[in-house]
Chains A and B, each alone.
Chain A
């Protein structure tokens, strides 16, 4: 039973990271109808920036974290303003490929700027852990879950109660109408990308925290966030969270139980289990659990 709880908590923590990445995707998708393949790269760049600021420059962790957040948010905004603005009206596939291009370029620049050796993210809670009964839980996991819940609560409040939240929802529903009513749609898009970049960075902190370390391929994990996003439905923040947590749990529980009980499925099966779950769900619900079929005017 202790194993189960430990795996469960680890799954929740991992799920929170996926939820953050998925949330970033959803924010952009709802505001700009774009799926941002470079979310993973933002995560990577953000994590590396924190590591660099706190270890190489010896800034206090909180300062390093804020700087990293600001810079990745800025990269997102710049990308939106300089590139994506000019692709309005292009088919979705084109825009997706552009974000893939950005992903490749950002991924390439990380080892170029920071080197390829493994590094630590320099988080203050490091390897310490806490015991809840017979279950041992890393502080990193605790912080992950806690901060994620805060961010999610903050996001939902922003979405529902603030003016820009409302503007984002309106722009997502009908951009032309939003412009006609005088909403600052350009700022809305920039805001969406900035937020998504920031949220990805937070995910990056926790991802690279103990017991993991940071390498130039750490962003591969963002690819596993895809099943989370798809599972939840591209345009639903609630779905992003549910999807993220589900996938995190699937992964950890599979990693824990499969090698002993279903070894024929192969080693590292936990890495593909999320994709299999996603495909199975999509066969039944082609727009994810919470997604809606986009209306087409005939």
Chain B
């Protein structure tokens, strides 16, 4: 095997191929689930920058998603702005919120910071519930489907590319789920490239140094304020975009959706996938956000689960139990999540290759 064909490269190419071709191989249920997973993965990628890379514990992610979603609702819904702009705006508004909250991370450490972020989720939910023009109050509000065109706003008939209408490109049909999937995938890939670049340059090292040893980092000239706030800004931007797309795909959202449980799911996805890694957020999202829909679908065939009017464990409880256990098991056995397991497997394979080579040469 040529040297440049490392297991990692092969895996990446395979993964890319699967991700690209996937929508044409599956039915609507799986495509819809996949679209959700990729959208969630964008948010998980953001959290990974804040917590995985920079070590700032945050259970407040749901708030930033909500902020993004409502920005999209107002700009896209009330003002009919074109999707590209409301997606960007969602990220920017959430990023601004992140910049405001970020400085608290300077004063507060670890657990104290975590609890403040919990407070932010609750305060956020309170604001969302009570500011009715923003969120529609407790009953909720609709979030528009993306429409892309060349103008700033979309006319009444809709813009050129409307996700509600299936599009035909070169013989291939893209329906709503498919278009969401590819849009989210594009954004996710751009995000992953961005994070990869951060990791090989000064900013990525600065963030990690903050995570590892603040004092030593500070003595080397790493400005703790600037980098902690940057981590919040990057993380919140991605969360805002994720929230906007999420709201849009769900199409109707109530304020109590942006809850602590949602934040915890993101943390779980980050951990199970592998904190601080690039592919981790996507892998973790597949497990955490894919579990419930899959279990719902197969409730009849799986033992113990309640379905229809029969008895048994409600699916939501079962999913909770499963990923509660998953979090515990991963953290005890392999804190670097699925990526950590993959790396271990990679090392085992490498050792076998080295062990086999002399025998082959002999």
Point out residues on A near B: beta carbons under 8 Å: 35, 83, 86-87, 90, 92-94, 96-98, 100-112, 116, 223, 226-227, 229-230, 234, 266-269, 271-272, 275-276, 278-279, 282-283, 286-288, 296, 298
Contact = CB atoms under 8 A, between A and B. Distances in A.
Interface residues of B, number: 44
Max chain B C-beta neighbours (<10 A), residue from A83, A110, A272, A283:
A272
Contact of B324 (A87, A104, A111, A268): A104
A101 B328 contact: yes
B111 interface: yes
A279 B314 contact: no
B107 A226 contact: no
Contacts of A87: 331-332
Contacts of B264: 100, 104
Given A98-B331, A111-B317, A298-B215, 6 more contacts: A97-B271, A101-B328, A230-B112, A234-B112, A279-B119, A286-B109
Contacts of A101: 268, 323-328, 331
Nearest to B320: A108
Nearest to A108: B320
Interface of B: 51, 55, 57, 104, 107-112, 114-116, 118-119, 122-123, 126-127, 129-130, 215, 260, 264, 267-268, 271, 313-314, 316-321, 323-328, 331-332, 335
Nearest to B270: A97
Given A96-B57, A97-B327, A98-B331, A282 B107 contact: yes
B320 A105 contact: yes
Given A100-B264, A282-B112, A268 B327 contact: no
Contact of B323 (A104, A109, A267, A271): A104
B260 A223 contact: yes
A81 to B, nearest CB: 13
B325 A278 contact: no
Contacts of B123: 272, 275-276
Contact of A106 (B107, B126, B324): B324
A35 B111 contact: yes
Contacts of B268: 97, 101
Contacts of B108: 282, 286
Identify the 6 closest CB pairs spanning chains A and B, nearest first: A105-B324, A108-B320, A101-B327, A104-B324, A275-B119, A266-B130
Determine the main DSSP class of B at the interface with A.
helix
Contacts of A278: 115-116, 119
Contact of B119 (A92, A227, A268): A227
Of the listed residues A101, A267, A276, the one surrounded by the most CB atoms of chain B closer than 10 A to its CB is A101
Contacts of B260: 223
A127 to B, nearest CB: 30
23 contacts: A35-B111, A93-B51, A101-B323, A101-B331, A104-B323, A104-B324, A104-B327, A108-B316, A108-B320, A108-B324, A109-B321, A110-B317, A111-B317, A112-B317, A112-B321, A223-B122, A266-B126, A269-B126, A275-B122, A278-B115, A282-B112, A283-B104, A296-B215
A93 B324 contact: no
A92 B332 contact: no
Contact of B327 (A98, A226, A230, A234): A98
B320 A104 contact: yes
Contact of B118 (A109, A223, A286): A223
A94 B111 contact: no
Nearest to A41: B324
B126 A286 contact: no
B324 A103 contact: yes
Contacts of B104: 279, 283
A100 B267 contact: yes
Nearest to A284: B107
Contacts of B122: 223, 271-272, 275
A276 B73 CA distance: 27
Interface core residue of A35, A105, A116 (most chain B CB under 10 Å): A105
A282 B101 CA distance: 14
Contacts of A112: 313-314, 317-318, 321
Nearest to A229: B115
B324 A102 contact: yes
Contacts of A279: 104, 116, 119
B44 to A, nearest CB: 14
Contacts of B327: 97-98, 100-101, 104
A285 to B, nearest CB: 10
B100 to A, nearest CB: 13
Contacts of B331: 87, 90, 94, 97-98, 101
B319 A282 contact: no
B320 A107 contact: yes
B357 to A, nearest CB: 36
Nearest to B260: A223
Contacts of B325: 101, 105
User: In the complex, which of the residues B109, B127, B320 has the most CB atoms of chain A within 10 Å of its own CB atom?
Assistant: B320
